[in-house]
Structure 1
């Protein structure tokens, strides 16, 4: 007889799931009906906006699978993982007019950073390498991605003044483009802008018929995983990745090239960029599709149950699992009995990742169980709460440091607060110079807290479609976090 340790319920990282278990990913992938996937093209929208865990990467992997079936080449660039920590300082030194040290989170610094040429060169090189991997070689690939040189990092081959070092193999190609290599010094090289212009011209001349979907993912950063003097730099780099993707999409659309850059972005990162740079609306506003799962109490809420059922149904490789026989129908807490759909509605944030996290927590705490019943679910709640809170705290760390997170753990002592002021009274002793209004709004927006009307027994959560926290309502800590905050 099989046990829970024999089941595979999915990975928190959709990239890993789709790469390592492609059949499971295809069988269990579900897309919200509200998401306009068909508009994600170079001449329409190019950004998928969604909270962490809502399935942005999964959407990209799904689109990549469809694109490959239709004859497209695909490439995935993962910003957070493709850059090393020392890369940030290296690229900052290319901005010669800016003093890097001692200018933390300064708006003028952010506005003066400009990495578009760096990213355009990096992206065209990744396109050339993707083509070369498919056996396509021409003047464009030879110039942008020489066979003898693989792309070790995005700064390979660049001088500090953002010049391209001229190699012997580049000479004949440049000559065909009426460029004399001797015009450029050995030390400074060819200006990056010039190189990118030539790369564009060569692509149109030699590779216009190429079909590629280029996915840019993991455009994230946090005060928790970076030194303070890197935050402004990282934010500026994310902004310029988006800006460059927008510009390249426009170039391909105008030239009727079937290449599409699709990016994914968290809303709090988008907001931070907008706060720094008011001009960012030109390439952000109206260029995105929103990914959400539980926008109300109707059919959308049922999607999460559908995700749970699919993950369970295909969790064994040799046979399908009968959900009704395998999973508990109800779970009882005190005098209250919830159906599984009600339990998911109350104890998740309406995201596929919550379902995977819950199932994996259950399997971890009950490896020898044959089924998932009420007892197995209850035994896993603390593990589920711990891992859920860590993810939310990572998001909170984009705007706030570790002090806020520590204050929440120390200060929260109730499931329900009279209002935001009472919550603030509990956590404020552990904080220094924190904006109360901004923090409370952020906690609501992330789903750490929600509005609560005890008379109507109604809850108001941002992921359920409520856009602001009404001052007349009580404050409720999300039930999935009660165990972590020790207020169960």
Structure 2
């Protein structure tokens, strides 16, 4: 309960007649990142896996497809939230605004360096997985742990390759990173013959040893799970740009390599996930091997498939909005007449003619969860009496 909630509900609790209104309602934020952290009711209170995505991701699937606003980031944020409460689960987001591979490739060209996207993605995945392992104090018994920590700390400039800092790093050091502590880590696991000569070397020359060390640590670390999530890939993406298409295809190929060849075949319980907009997936569909890869390893968020099938009260979108209505009614102390369908306490279906209230609302959307959130986003400022009537929705909520 919020600090002011007892005053907001005081009138009701004293038994006074008080018709419920939309004041203090929070249906949600259109951005899952905000809903996960800074909103009055957080994503963990709202989240339900209505489309059964997580169980499929527990198997061989690792790509989540969906239209913009369909809930891809919500899936990722939910996994991240789970990791905060689970001592044996470690999770990290890699977002394009922070690490833009194509941007780094272009900076390299400006400075006279040729950077292969696939090798850069491999470096990013390996180093970020190692960085996650460093958060796990139980891994300190591994002989390479302290050297890996020193390697990561000494080479932060080319590991936390932030978009606004990478240019300076490449200008100053090129593509090279310090090899000393990686050599010590390799020696610690009994592969002294694989040490890299010289104090520094190009990042891609480190990849075999980094992979060797990561494999050694993870095979000894059977009780923990490490997850890396790639998100916001649509930012700055152009479906007719060959570089954007190939960059995304390289990401999916490398994610497949880690999930299928590196993790699964070695019995390692870790995963790399990619959250990808459906139209972007279509734009790379005809790139070599992408059709088979997407067909084999993706799961799609599809909310509109069941809208016109049978009972609309059982539709996924109805369940989605019902959960959010229920959380608000419980928070504000309002009575829900039908707990199996809170919508009927929120909207007066009898005031609609020709179609149901739910159909009336979703026909003004693109059949996405974000659309329903946006539709009701400002009702807390309108203080409309509940249940909402058709005129309330028509006059106050529909865009003009």
Pair in the same fold by TM > 0.5: yes
- Is the 8 Å Cα contact of residues 26 and 328 (structure 2) preserved in structure 1? yes
Q: Would the alpha carbon gap of residues 158 and 199 (structure 1) be closer, same or farther in structure 2, given more than 3 Å must change?
A: farther
Query: C-alpha displacement at 1:99, in angstroms?
Result: 11
- Count of aligned pairs between the two proteins: 355
Distance in 1 between residues matched to 2:79 and 2:181, nearest whole Å: 37
Residue 314 of structure 1 aligns to a residue whose secondary structure is helix
- Is the 8 Å Cα contact of residues 313 and 321 (structure 1) preserved in structure 2? no
- Is the 8 Å Cα contact of residues 357 and 390 (structure 2) preserved in structure 1? no
| TM-score normalised by the chain length of structure 2 | 0.74
Question: 1:354 maps to what in 2?
Answer: 371
Residue 118 of structure 1 aligns to a residue whose secondary structure is helix
Which residue of 184, 188, 191 maps to 1:172? 184
Question: 2:327 maps to what in 1?
Answer: 314
Question: 1:126 maps to what in 2?
Answer: 128
Query: C-alpha displacement at 1:48, in angstroms?
Result: 1.2
Query: C-alpha displacement at 1:131, in angstroms?
Result: 2.4
Question: 1:463 maps to what in 2?
Answer: none
- Is the 8 Å Cα contact of residues 125 and 144 (structure 1) preserved in structure 2? no
1:68-467 correspondence runs (5 A)? 71-83=87-99, 88-94=102-108, 114-135=116-137, 136-137=139-140, 138-139=145-146, 141-142=148-149, 145-146=152-153, 149=156, 151-153=159-161, 163-166=175-178, 169-170=181-182, 172-173=184-185, 175-176=187-188, 177-178=191-192, 183-184=197-198, 189-208=200-219, 209=221, 210-222=224-236, 231-250=241-260, 251-275=262-286, 277-296=287-306, 297-298=308-309, 301=312, 302-315=315-328, 317-319=331-333, 322=336, 323=342, 324-330=344-350, 332=352, 336-363=353-380, 366=382, 368-371=383-386, 372-383=388-399
Question: 1:39 maps to what in 2?
Answer: 56
Query: C-alpha displacement at 1:318, in angstroms?
Result: 4.9
Distance in 1 between residues matched to 2:294 and 2:250, nearest whole Å: 11
| 1:147-190 deviations in Å (ceiling 9; x for gaps) | 78374425856689974322654453355442687734x7xx42
Residue 96 of structure 2 aligns to a residue whose secondary structure is helix
Unaligned runs of 5+ residues in structure 1 are 101-112, 384-482, 484-488
Q: Would the alpha carbon gap of residues 299 and 268 (structure 1) be closer, same or farther in structure 2, given more than 3 Å must change?
A: same
- Is the 8 Å Cα contact of residues 362 and 372 (structure 2) preserved in structure 1? no
Distance in 1 between residues matched to 2:40 and 2:25, nearest whole Å: 16
- Is the 8 Å Cα contact of residues 48 and 265 (structure 1) preserved in structure 2? yes
| 1:206-231 deviations in Å (ceiling 9; x for gaps) | 3321411222222213468x9x9xx4
- Is the 8 Å Cα contact of residues 220 and 269 (structure 1) preserved in structure 2? yes
Distance in 1 between residues matched to 2:215 and 2:237, nearest whole Å: 41
Residue 75 of structure 1 aligns to a residue whose secondary structure is strand
- Is the 8 Å Cα contact of residues 212 and 259 (structure 1) preserved in structure 2? yes
Distance in 2 between residues matched to 1:260 and 1:243, nearest whole Å: 14
- Greater CA deviation, 240-249 or 13-22? 13-22
Residue 263 of structure 1 aligns to a residue whose secondary structure is strand
Question: 2:12 maps to what in 1?
Answer: none
Residue 94 of structure 1 aligns to a residue whose secondary structure is helix
Residue 235 of structure 2 aligns to a residue whose secondary structure is coil
- Is the 8 Å Cα contact of residues 46 and 262 (structure 1) preserved in structure 2? yes
Question: 1:19 maps to what in 2?
Answer: 37
Q: Which of 1 and 2 has higher RCO (CA within 8 Å, sep 6+)?
A: 2
- Is the 8 Å Cα contact of residues 239 and 273 (structure 1) preserved in structure 2? yes
Query: C-alpha displacement at 1:295, in angstroms?
Result: 0.9
Question: 2:66 maps to what in 1?
Answer: 50
| 1:431-451 deviations in Å (ceiling 9; x for gaps) | xxxxxxxxxxxxxxxxxxxxx
CA RMSD, Structure 1 to Structure 2 (Å): 3.8
Distance in 2 between residues matched to 1:28 and 1:206, nearest whole Å: 36
